[in-house]
Structure 1
Amino acid sequence: MFSKLAALLVLVPFIVFAAPVEERAAAIDTGTHCGQWDTITVTPYTLYLDQWGLSNASSGSDCATLVSLSGTTLSWKTTWNWVGGNGVKSYTNINLNNGINKKLSAISSIPSTWNWSQSSSGSIVANVAYDLFTSNTSGGSAVNEIMIWLANFNAGPISATYNSAGQPVPVVSNLSLAGRTWNLYQGSNGANNVFSFLPTSGTVTSFNGDINVFLKYLTANRGVSTSQFLTTLQAGTEATSGSATLTTHVHSFTRTTSASLIIFKSKKRMSKESEAKPAASAPATGEEPTFSIQPHPAKTNDPADLAPEQTGGLASNPNDAVFHARDPHVPSAQVMAGLEQPLSREELHKRQEELNKSS
């Protein structure tokens, strides 16, 4: 017994002080998933197919695949094809599971990199966008939806005002944030106040910036309270019509010494020992920043929002009138039963998950 214990004690120093093992790609589900509410969870993310507008399409499908995961750097792709109906059919996205439900005032930065490419057949109506939600309480009902569009393919943001040509009118133009210039649109989806940042020109296929600067702008200039909580952080594509394949790499949020992928402000003075450590948020020169992108929830199940009267502009093809109807995000008829007021997509998903567990 003593000899075995001695052998273990001898090994301990080598275990503790051994050089770090090179990070390996995690084993993940790389199968193709096409179900309306299919999800694939791979820490720290969940891939949502989220075909919430499926019933409005005359035909079509949406499939998604996780390609690889190394640390918090995720690669995935989605192929979709939708015909008929107005409004968004699906929002296939990657959702961040860790480090959320914190007050906006506590968030120091959310560095993120998103490199993606898309192939399409013919004219499409879609976007590629980050989608965030805030609430007055941790895990509570969504109050604000914040979208950061990287691409706009004949679609249009929710807006309170449209011009005579049916185009949304920004509330602020030519904002300089995250190294680019944006127009900000504001409106309501029936359940949430919606802020949408769109590039003033072109498509951003490679984004490298701090998502938190958009939140800071809203708290400083548009009445969003710093006491609200960031409850959802997603990145994906809202697809309305056409056919396309989006391949994306979610380059996880900057690593920190904690489990969180979001960098929070310190509530206590750092010790001298911790102050001596290099800042985790400062990648070495030449390194690709490790950070991420994430997902989308909330709109409304208000029957009035199912009507396609909210026009987001006309596509280049005059036969392709684009309607950005306020999103209902309705998981199932069972979840809808008995609802007396609009719920956010986040809340509807929770009810759907509870229903799935009980069935």
Structure 2
Amino acid sequence: MAVNTLSRITKAILAPALALGATVGFASAPASAAVWNTCDQYGSTNLNGYTLYNNIWGSGAGSQCTWANSATNWGVSANHPNTGGIKSYPNSTKAINKSITSLGSLTSDYNISVPSSGAFNASYDIWDTAHRYEIMLWVNKTGPVGAIGSWQEDVSLGGHSWGVYKGTNGSNEVFSFIRKSNSSAGTVDILPILKWIKDSKGWMGNETIGDVQFGYEITSSAGGLDFNTNNLTVSSS
């Protein structure tokens, strides 16, 4: 369940100003030849137009480290306890800053390797610049996780078949598209999804799309699990 997603973004943005205490235990980063790694709670870096966040934002979290071989090849090692509630959303963020009608295209390619245990989803998280609307696209999920709000309908958009859920987290509207079956690689045509929300459903207006994120909402990964983003690119025009 995508709980308090606005606060996780706010915390990531404010991270440099925060004092990182001992409330989160940190594991060691992978021994790969990474160009960047961090085990800091809100550690982040900018690489080739993408911002990578470790982003341990939920309560009761364990240890987690994020590493990157490049802007588009990165991963996470996490050991979060088998308790309820999202612990983290390590992610890659690409700034778009264009209105829906001014976008000629907005697509993403993904290739991931995820565990067969634990509780998590691998998802896009798309925000308007005012943070009034959050569009989540779940391409993979495992364990007892679910979307905010209620089921609306099933649709085929952007090259995938989804179950659509609509709700609110108390801070913003949330539209969740849950892929009907798990996928580890593919292309998502995001713009038709945004236009469907705007034009076909009237759930939002001609919003300016701020960030397109992709990452892992991790509820539990007891014993230590690895989440590998073999390739993740976001393109717009």
Same fold by TM-score greater than 0.5: yes
Q: What RMSD over aligned residues (CA atoms) do the two structures have, in Å?
A: 1.8
Change in CA separation of 1:224 and 1:105 when aligned onto 2, cut-off 3 Å: farther
| Segment drifting more, 187-196 vs 240-249 | 240-249
More helix by share: 1
In the alignment, what sits opposite 1:110?
Answer: 106
Which whole-Å deviations, capped at 9, do the CAs of 1:117-169 have from their partners, x for residues lacking one? 1235xx411000000012xxxx4x3111000000121211111x4xxxxxxxx
More strand by share: 2
> What is the CA–CA distance in structure 2 between the aligned matches of 1:250 and 1:96, rounded to whole Å?
14
Would the aligned equivalents of 2:50 and 2:93 in 1 still touch at CA under 8 Å? yes
Asked if 1:189 is matched to 2:169, the reply is yes
> What is the CA–CA distance in structure 2 between the aligned matches of 1:219 and 1:247, rounded to whole Å?
33
Structure 2 unpaired stretches of 5+? 1-32
Report the 3-state secondary structure (helix = DSSP H, G, I; strand = E; otherwise coil) of the residue aligned with 1:89.
coil
Which whole-Å deviations, capped at 9, do the CAs of 1:326-350 have from their partners, x for residues lacking one? xxxxxxxxxxxxxxxxxxxxxxxxx
Structure 1 unpaired stretches of 5+? 1-27, 162-169, 254-260, 264-359
In the alignment, what sits opposite 2:44?
Answer: 39
> What is the CA–CA distance in structure 1 between the aligned matches of 2:232 and 2:55, rounded to whole Å?
22
Amino acid paired to 2:178: L
Relative to the length of structure 1, the TM-score reads 0.53
Higher relative contact order (Cα pairs below 8 Å, separated by 6+ residues): 2
Identity over aligned pairs, percent: 31
Name the count of aligned residue pairs. Answer: 202
Q: 1:85 Cα shift?
A: 4.0
Asked if 1:101 is matched to 2:90, the reply is no
In the alignment, what sits opposite 1:353?
Answer: none
In the alignment, what sits opposite 1:144?
Answer: 133
> What is the CA–CA distance in structure 2 between the aligned matches of 1:105 and 1:132, rounded to whole Å?
16
Amino acid paired to 1:205: S
Amino acid paired to 1:124: G
Would the aligned equivalents of 2:198 and 2:206 in 1 still touch at CA under 8 Å? no
Q: 1:251 Cα shift?
A: 4.0
> What is the CA–CA distance in structure 1 between the aligned matches of 2:76 and 2:108, rounded to whole Å?
20
Would the aligned equivalents of 1:125 and 1:241 in 2 still touch at CA under 8 Å? yes
Q: 1:29 Cα shift?
A: 6.2
Which of 179, 184, 189 is matched with 1:205 structurally?
184
> What is the CA–CA distance in structure 2 between the aligned matches of 1:188 and 1:251, rounded to whole Å?
28
Report the 3-state secondary structure (helix = DSSP H, G, I; strand = E; otherwise coil) of the residue aligned with 2:79.
strand
Q: 1:42 Cα shift?
A: 0.8
Would the aligned equivalents of 1:105 and 1:226 in 2 still touch at CA under 8 Å? no
Report the 3-state secondary structure (helix = DSSP H, G, I; strand = E; otherwise coil) of the residue aligned with 1:51.
coil
> What is the CA–CA distance in structure 1 between the aligned matches of 2:77 and 2:34, rounded to whole Å?
17
Amino acid paired to 1:180: H
Q: 1:212 Cα shift?
A: 1.1
> What is the CA–CA distance in structure 2 between the aligned matches of 1:225 and 1:186, rounded to whole Å?
12
Which of 152, 159, 178 is matched with 1:171 structurally?
152
Q: 1:43 Cα shift?
A: 2.2
Amino acid paired to 1:183: G
In the alignment, what sits opposite 1:252?
Answer: 233
Which of 49, 54, 58 is matched with 1:49 structurally?
54
Change in CA separation of 1:225 and 1:188 when aligned onto 2, cut-off 3 Å: closer
Q: 1:65 Cα shift?
A: 0.6
Asked if 1:65 is matched to 2:73, the reply is no
Q: 1:222 Cα shift?
A: 2.5
